[in-house]
Structure 1
Amino acid sequence: MTPIGSKDERIGLADAGALAAAIGRKSHAGKSVTLNAAMQLATVWACIRLTAQAVSALPLGTFRREADGGRTAVDDHALAEVLEVSPNADQTSLEFWEATVAWLISTGNSYAEKVEFGKRLSSLQPLASTHCRPVRLPSGELVYRVTDRGKSEDMPRSKVFHIKGFGFGGDLGLSAIANGAETFGAAMATDEAAGKIFGNGLSVSGILSSEQVLKADQRRDLKNAMLAYAGSTNAGKLMILEAGLKYQQMTLNPEDAQMLETRRFHIEEMCRWFGMPPIIIGHAAQGQTMWGSGVEQILLTWLALGINPICRRIEARIVKDLVPAGEKRRLYCEFNREGLLQMDSAAKATFLSQMTQNGLMDRNEGRAKLNLPRREGADALTAQTNLAPLDQLGATGGDASAARNALAAWLGLSGN
């Protein structure tokens, strides 16, 4: 890696993204929206966590395309060992992909340093997306600028595994948190306001009146005395007033204090930024229940439009950046989407039944998806024969016709 020289090069326009990630973007609500601040919102936490866990839990396999159009699972390739078993010395494959997807969803980009032994990939070391960004040098060369303990260094593109999120092309994916700063800032301000209301015992303000004009020191002493009645821990205390002072309390009912409608809107708005149906994170829209076939269709939509594009994005980048040049046409990695059916026994039983009964999968292939051992004689493709062309009805009788004729002969009905 090549260190950056002058101070201007270390802190310049090229590092604006890194500075913005650290300082955040100021919203009109007065809140600086950073990744850490946004993660304190339950909706943001749930959207990122559930998406990352759903993708990382899918089995990842390495395959080789065969000349006949089929494919063969590859277990002894160096790439399979890194991606499926041990990406690095510290993480399991699930932990690595979980972190990768979390960075991808939150910042729009995910980075990892490629460590090679000779020409063989030996590990992937994750890089924080807030401390790494692609930079185009004046020569047009693409490098990755990594900030570590106050120092910036450039890494060649051949050493970085970069997964880009949604964008309009270019070298960077777009960050949902950065572009949605107004939405997240407003939600942060609403939560803070609600917290302060509850902290004050649901008393947002009150009026303390007197027929006399108070001096400056009297006002100060009176303000300090009133602090003894502020806060939820002091709710219910008996207030003692003298010298003709009168207190008129202004209260909010609990529903108004929670700002239910505003907070409900913010939840749904934040979910839009992450492409997450609110029902997935446990938030039912107005008039919607948490159960039923409608919810099932929402889940399928999320899998098709939310999870699958992320998987395809990762799979394509693996082929482009990690598969050796001479094997890109044949070697590839793929997430097993059927892993999403593991918890739905009825859906999985229906799927396997249809695949085996229609000749698309033999019994042993179906047993393998249930982690059951192979059985002898279960390698043949089978299909139901209850439906057949009319001109083949007699030909399909086979053993059944012979059995019927034998029974008729035994009963003495063969001549009829």
Structure 2
Amino acid sequence: MSFTARLRSLAYKATLAAFQSITGVSLTDLRLGAFLAGGPSYTGQVVTVDAALQLDTVWACIRLISETIASMPLKLHAQQGDGQSILARDHPLYRVLARAPNADMTPIEFWSCMAACCLAWGNGFAQVMRRGDGQIVALNPLRPDRMSVQRNASTGGLTYIYSYQGQTLILGEDDIFHIKGFSFDGLMGISPITAGRQSIGAAIAAEESAGRMFRNGLLSQTYISAPAYLSSEQKEQAQKLLSDYTGAINAGKTPLLEGGWKIESVGLNAEDMQLLQTRQLGVAMLCRWFGVQPVMIGAMEKSTAWGTGLEQMNLWFLQYGLMPWLQRIEQAVARCLLPPAERDHYFARFNVDALLRGDSTARATYMKTAVNNGWMTANEARANDNLPAMAGGDVLMVQSQMVPLTDIGGAHRLNHVPEPGRSSQKEDAEI
């Protein structure tokens, strides 16, 4: 091996060692695909989670879904014998889910982190910390791009291998809280960024093209024609002169041309290339990968988010955008954090009413309907707005002004009382 080849080999090994020490994943590791969460695209762009998050559409979709999920309280409930349920405040898991997932994070921080990992990598992982008697005391989030899942051939159980900063941690099923996204094998969820890398790559290429055009002062399709061949000295002088008119900061300046110099245009400008339309199309295209309506992230070129359509949009977003993720998290809590003996008695439930709390008119209509039709008491309605209970407010009531048509006459006779000394018309007729 030559000296140059030996140097290249040493440099390559040093790069591998540095990459592995920083990420915990070697270039020959199967987890490299999860670490990149993407890959090359038709446009030549290498799509990774970090690269995709630089697109405002991807960032807005992930932030919208993750923060909306985290803003809805997740609490543990206990099933009662009459089919009703109450909050299981005495269960140790209640505090972990609703109050303090770990020593460093609040519930909204923890659940937004878990949901964001699911949206970026297709999976959310947390290490389950237990005390001596086996009760769960904390959930510590783990990076999905550092995790691999294997099935033990001898026991049939799952083994989770986590590599981070040069250290490897092997965990069993009882030590992992795993939320899986859409999947084909049931072991690992599929990353939307991996599946949509062609669409994301096209959006990244469009952003790069737009950025370079602004960097060149929107003159990338323009050239200056000289009246004759120039010497090297003349070319250098011309470039120095034209440098005052390049760059976005100099856009709009008009150069002074002398001696027969001309400005010519070649190719297509940004509008002819439909660059703006391509970027707008990319917004709707990327929103489909995350199940978000473009108007929910501020893309309101052809729609609006005001008026009566706002409530229906929230309902659509809750039913089709959030509900699958809420169900995944609730069922993952039962599968990973509750022992089999408690799964029929305890369950985790998101309070989706918090999503519609901002619509005071809709909430007032809902409460009025519930109280007037007898399936909610006045004190239960007041408790939803953190108001104190009132005396007599625990009785179910229903309006009774509607009676059958056949009972109208009877009700009239019962309510009719003749004046003293006078008989009714019916009695006069009988006399």
What residue in structure 2 maps to residue 373 of structure 1? 388
1:41 to 47, 55, 61: 55
Q: Residues 243 and 389 of structure 1: is their aligned pair in 2 closer, same or farther, counting only changes over 3 Å?
A: closer
Structure 2 residues not aligned, in runs of 5+: 1-20
User: Is the CA contact 1:48–1:102 (under 8 Å) kept in the aligned structure 2?
Assistant: yes
Q: 1:94-145, CA deviations, whole angstroms, 9 ceiling, x for partnerless residues?
A: 1111111111122111010000002110000011122223223454442112
The partner residue of 1:146 within 162, 165, 175 is 162
SS state at 1:161 partner: strand
After superposition, the Cα gap between the structure-2 partners of 1:11 and 1:195, relative to the gap in structure 1 and judged at 3 Å, is closer
Moved more, 275-284 or 292-301: 292-301
> Would you say 1:232 and 2:239 are equivalent positions?
no
Partner of 2:219: 203
- 1:74 to 2:92 alignment: no
**Conserved 8 A contact 1:279-1:295:** no
> For structure 1, which runs of at least 5 residues remain unmatched after alignment?
1-6
CA contact (8 A) 1:111 1:163 kept: yes
Letter of the 2:108 counterpart: L
Question: 1:255-266 maps to which residues of 2 (within 5 A)?
Answer: 259-266=275-282
Query: SS where residue 104 of structure 2 aligns?
Result: coil
Q: How much does 1:46 deviate?
A: 1.0
Offset at residue 381 of structure 1 (A): 1.3
TM-score, normalising length: structure 1: 0.87
> Is 1:297 aligned to residue 303 of structure 2?
no
Choose which of 120, 123, 128 in structure 2 pairs with 1:109. Answer: 123
Q: Report the CA distance between 1:382 and its aligned residue.
A: 1.2
Q: Matched residues in 1 for 2:216 and 2:209: separation?
A: 11
- Give matches, 1:309-328, under 5 Å: 309-328=324-343
Deviation at 1:390, TM superposition (A): 5.1
Q: 1:219 to 1:310 in 2, by over 3 A?
A: same
Among candidates 339, 344, 350, match of residue 359 of structure 2: 344
The aligned residue for residue 15 of structure 2 is: none
For 2:46, give the aligned amino acid.
S
Q: 1:136 to 1:220 in 2, by over 3 A?
A: farther
* Counterpart Cα distance in 2 of 1:339 and 1:318: 20
- CA 1:56 to 1:196, structure 2 compared with 1: closer, same or farther past 3 Å? same
Partner SS for 2:398: coil
Alignment of 1:184 onto 2:207: no
Question: Counterpart of 1:184 in structure 2: which amino acid?
Answer: I
1:85-96 alignment runs, 5 A limit? 85-96=99-110
Q: Give, in angstroms, the shift of residue 48 of structure 1.
A: 0.8
Secondary structure of 1:310's counterpart equals helix
Q: How many Å separate the matches in 1 of 2:192 and 2:104?
A: 29
Structure 2 residue identity aligned to 1:86: A
1:281 pairs with 270, 283, 297, which one? 297
Aligned-pair CA distance for 1:267: 0.3
Q: Deviations over 1:181-207 (max 9, x none)?
A: 111111111111112222222222322
* C-alpha deviation, 1:20, in angstroms: 2.8
Report if the CA contact (8 A) 2:36-2:49 is conserved.
Answer: no
Go from structure 1 to structure 2 and tell me whether the alpha carbon gap of 1:168 and 1:393 turns closer, same or farther (over 3 Å shift).
Answer: farther
> In 1, distance between residues paired with 2:252 and 2:164?
53
Partners of 1:204 and 1:250 within 8 A in 2: no
1:270 and 2:296 correspond: no
Deviation readout 1:14-66 (Å, 9 max, x if unpaired): 32333433xx4111112111111111111111111111111111122221111
Q: Secondary structure at the match of 2:400?
A: coil
Cα deviations across residues 307-356 of structure 1 (Å, max 9, x unaligned)? 11111111111111112332110101100111122101111111111111
Question: 2:220 corresponds to which letter in structure 1?
Answer: V
Deviation at 1:229, TM superposition (A): 2.4
Deviation at 1:252, TM superposition (A): 7.3
**What's the TM-score once normalised by structure 2's chain length?**
0.84
Q: Calculate the aligned-residue CA RMSD, in Å.
A: 3.0
| SS of match in other structure, 2:178 | strand
SS of structure 1 residue aligned to 2:365: helix
Letter in 2 for 1:275: G
Q: How many residues align?
A: 403
Q: Secondary structure of the residue that 2:389 maps to in structure 1? A: coil
- What's the counterpart of residue 4 of structure 1? none
Identity %: 36
Whether the aligned pair in 2 keeps the contact of 1:194 and 1:257 (CA below 8 Å) is no
Structure 2 counterpart of 1:149, one-letter code: Q
Task: Kindly indicate whether the alpha-carbon contact (under 8 Å) linking 1:203 and 1:251 is maintained by their aligned counterparts in 2.
Answer: no
C-alpha displacement at 1:216, in angstroms?
A: 5.8
Which secondary structure does the structure 2 equivalent of 1:14 belong to?
A: coil
Cα pair distance change 1:344/1:18, threshold 3 Å: same
Amino acid aligned to 1:95:
E
Q: Which amino acid aligns with 1:383?
A: V
Amino acid at match of 2:336: D
Q: Residue 195 of structure 1: SS of its match in structure 2?
A: helix
